[in-house]
Amino acid sequence: MQTLQILKLIEIAASFFWTLALLYDYQKNKKINLLLLRSGIIVLMSVFILTAYLSTSLQFQAWKNDPMSQYLLPPHSPIAYFYNYAIYRFWLPYALDIMISIAWAFYLLLLCKYSNRRFLDEKEACMGFFTALIVGWPNFIIYIFLLFGLVVLRQIFNYYVLRKKELISITPYMAISAILVVSLSLFYGDRLGLDKLKLVS
C-alpha cells in the first residue's frame, strides 16, 4: 500500500512539475516546448501503467493469502474471474482517462483544421491531451467548464478593457485549469459531487 501511495504522490508531483514548467516556458518563449511536453506524457503514462500493474499484483497476493478470497483464484475458480476484476478495478479507469484525453485532443485538432489555425495549432492539441490526462475522469468535466470560463473572461477583458481584438491562445489557460482542478480534487475531492461518475469508487 505504501508503494501505491508513493506512486500517487509521484503522479501528482509530476503533474504539477511538468504543467508549471510548460506554463513557465510558454510565458517566456511564447511557444509550447514539445520535448518537455512529450517527456511529461511519457512519465505520466509510465506511472499509470506501473500503478495499475502493482495494484493488480498486490490484489492477487491479498486474495491468495486470505482463507476466503483464495477460493476466487485457481484451482478453485477460473483465472478469468480475477483478470476481469483487475481490469475493471485497476486498468479501466486509466484507460478511460486516456480515451477522454485522446477525444479532447482530436476535437482540438478538428478545431485547428477547420479554423485554419485561427484559434489554436497542433501543439496546443497535444497540450490539451496532456492536461486532460492530468485531471482525468470525472474531473475533466470541471476542467472544461473552468477552461471555457477563463478563456471567455480573458477575451472579454482584452476586447473591452485593453481594446485588443486578436484571439488569445488557450495554452496557458489549459495549464492553469489543470493545476486548479488537480488542487481542488486534492483538497475538496469529496465535495465536488463527481464521485457517482467514477467507474470505481
List, as one string, the DSSP characters of 3-27: HHHHHHHHHHHHHHHHHHHHHHHHH
| Residues of the chain where predicted confidence (pLDDT) is lower than 50 | none
pLDDT number for residue 103: 96
From 117, 120, 140, 115, select the one nearest 130 (Cα to Cα): 140
pLDDT of residue 200: 63
Q: Which amino acid is at 135?
A: V
Question: Which grid cell is 162?
Answer: 485593453
- Predicted local confidence at residue 76, as pLDDT: 85
Which grid coordinates are listed for 51? 500503478
- Output the pLDDT for position 127: 93
Query: Can you give the pTM of this predicted structure?
Result: 0.88
CB atoms under 10 Å from CB of 44, counted, come to 20
Domain boundaries, the chain: 2-197
The Cα 142–Cα 59 span in angstroms is 32
